């Protein structure tokens, strides 16, 4: 069965390798002389005396490089870049920050101040390119509440990322307490023309959750935020000053899109769901698997998602006798942190599958395309029908370690953690489930 695990690893690696952000930027933006065309819009760069860039997220470096290549040396930009790692090489005119993730740090705070300073001088002769990707919520942060300290913002973030709420709910709270989220950077850019290009790590229709939507109108409300805080037990974990600020109804509503600053604002997805599914599907079928894609389980509890996707895999095998089959899934599952272990939602998903696939000719992989899984040094993990028995043989208790949020430790002991390091992109989590034909001997 080890062959199936290796095939799952290769499919994941080939999928990551197929994602070329600068190339995608070149396809999305077409420059004809001074005219830049994208989707159904176009702008004449010579109409502007100032070109500015704000790049936020795990794919920020590649996005900046791609934009610089499209614009060429003829059009110089000045900008701010905040990413979780330093650039391999700096693009001229960019000021770089290495922000904290998943909790903001001092560099995240300074990046937010620098961005607001950059946008303060914008006028109708300015064009601002906002380059957004996943992870940006923590990489750039500054609270609306002026007396709130960084340690208090960090306390809020830790409460949110461990409460078990879906990412849309978490971002709704972030948007309402932040000076740089939920459309507020569009307001900060004033009369400038704004072009937002995004790499999506969210479901279709939730684009305002990418980096907590700094340039898009916010669809959530204060009432929504108050319900989230109550429902997921966040209130008692809030800093006292923030809790008082909310309870006294001093939290202002986020921009909803009626503001004049949104009139000359454009938004376009650079890479999304299809750019993740297509290479994964192709890689699986190139290895002899009949593959299907499924994005049903987004935000599902991790154990429910495991049961559903394994059932899909078994169903595919039943209707295709004698054929290797694969199920490719994306999105984020919900995995609240209940213990003090090391791991994230991807390794937790695989650990939830370990007992269910014991003795079967099945392999399961789940990993973050950004190379990060929770508080672990891994992107995720992989398991097969022998994993449960191997774990028992060295004294590992799968159920206990799942309950203690210690999924990484389980797979690290078995050599089945997937460690890639930061990949420089962040489309979504990717799950690969493979099933061998029952007739084949391994």
Report how far residue 330's alpha carbon sits from residue 159's, in angstroms, rounded to the nearest whole number: 25
Chunked in runs of 10, what are the mean pLDDT values of the chain (442 residues)?
90 93 90 91 93 96 94 92 94 96 95 97 95 93 93 93 85 95 96 94 85 94 92 89 89 94 93 87 96 90 95 94 94 84 94 96 95 92 97 95 94 96 86 82 42
* Pairing status of strand 50-56 against strand 41-44: unpaired
The predicted pLDDT at position 71 comes to 93
The predicted pLDDT at position 1 comes to 58
Report how far residue 293's alpha carbon sits from residue 280's, in angstroms, rounded to the nearest whole number: 9
Task: Locate the domains of the chain by residue range.
Answer: 2-10+274-435, 20-271
Q: 49: closest CA among 122, 119, 115?
A: 122
Q: 373: closest CA among 349, 340, 354, 352?
A: 349
Please state the φ and ψ torsions of residue 221, each to the nearest 5 degrees. Answer: -130, 170
Is 98 in contact with 111 (CB distance < 8 Å)?
A: no
Please state which CATH number belongs to domain 20-271.
3.40.50.10180
CATH of 2-10+274-435, one of 3.40.1480.10, 1.10.10.10, 3.30.70.1230, 3.20.20.70: 3.40.1480.10
Please state the φ and ψ torsions of residue 410, each to the nearest 5 degrees. Answer: -60, -50
Query: What torsion do the CA atoms of 240, 56, 175, 206 make, to the nearest 10 degrees?
Result: -140
């Amino acid at each position: 069965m080890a062959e199936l695990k290796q095939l799952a690893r290769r499919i994941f690696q080939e999928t990551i390798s197929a994602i070329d952000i600068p190339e995608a930027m070149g396809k999305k933006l077409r420059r004809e002389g001074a005219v830049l065309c994208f989707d159904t819009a176009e702008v004449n760069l010579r109409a502007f005396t100032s070109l500015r860039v704000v790049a936020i997220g795990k794919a920020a470096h590649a996005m900046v490089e791609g934009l610089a290549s499209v614009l060429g040396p003829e059009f110089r930009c000045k900008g701010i870049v905040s990413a979780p790692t330093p650039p391999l090489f700096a693009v001229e005119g960019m000021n770089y920050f290495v922000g904290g993730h998943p909790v903001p740090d001092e560099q995240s705070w300074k990046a937010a101040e620098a961005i607001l300073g950059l946008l303060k001088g914008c006028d109708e002769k300015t064009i601002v390119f906002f380059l957004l990707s996943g992870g940006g919520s923590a990489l750039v942060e500054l609270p609306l509440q002026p007396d709130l300290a960084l340690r208090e913002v960090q306390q809020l973030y830790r409460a949110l990322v461990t409460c078990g709420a879906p990412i849309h709910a978490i971002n709704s709270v972030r948007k309402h307490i932040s000076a740089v989220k939920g459309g507020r950077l569009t307001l900060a850019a004033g009369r400038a023309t704004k072009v937002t290009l995004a790499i999506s790590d969210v479901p279709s229709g939730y684009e305002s959750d990418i980096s907590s939507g700094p340039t898009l109108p916010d669809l959530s409300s204060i009432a929504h935020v108050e319900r989230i805080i109550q429902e997921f037990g966040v209130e008692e974990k809030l800093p006292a000053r923030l809790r008082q600020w909310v309870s006294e109804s001093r939290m202002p509503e986020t921009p909803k899109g009626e503001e004049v600053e949104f009139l000359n604002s454009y938004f376009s997805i650079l890479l999304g769901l299809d750019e993740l599914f297509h290479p994964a599907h192709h890689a699986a079928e190139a290895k002899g698997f009949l593959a299907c894609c499924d994005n049903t389980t987004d935000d599902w509890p991790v154990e429910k998602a495991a049961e559903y996707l394994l059932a899909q895999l078994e169903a595919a095998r039943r209707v295709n006798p004698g054929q290797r089959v694969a199920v490719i899934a994306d999105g984020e599952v919900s995995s609240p942190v209940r213990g003090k272990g090391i791991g994230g939602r991807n390794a937790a998903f695989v650990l939830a599958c370990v007992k269910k696939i014991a003795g079967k000719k099945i392999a399961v992989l789940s990993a973050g395309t950004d190379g990060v899984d929770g508080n672990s040094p891994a992107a995720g993990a992989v398991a097969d029908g022998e994993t449960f028995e191997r774990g028992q043989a060295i004294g590992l208790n799968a159920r206990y370690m799942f309950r203690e949020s210690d999924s990484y430790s389980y797979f690290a002991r078995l050599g089945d953690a997937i460690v890639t390091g930061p990949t420089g992109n962040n489309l979504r989590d990717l799950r690969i489930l493979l099933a061998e034909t029952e007739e084949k001997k391994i």
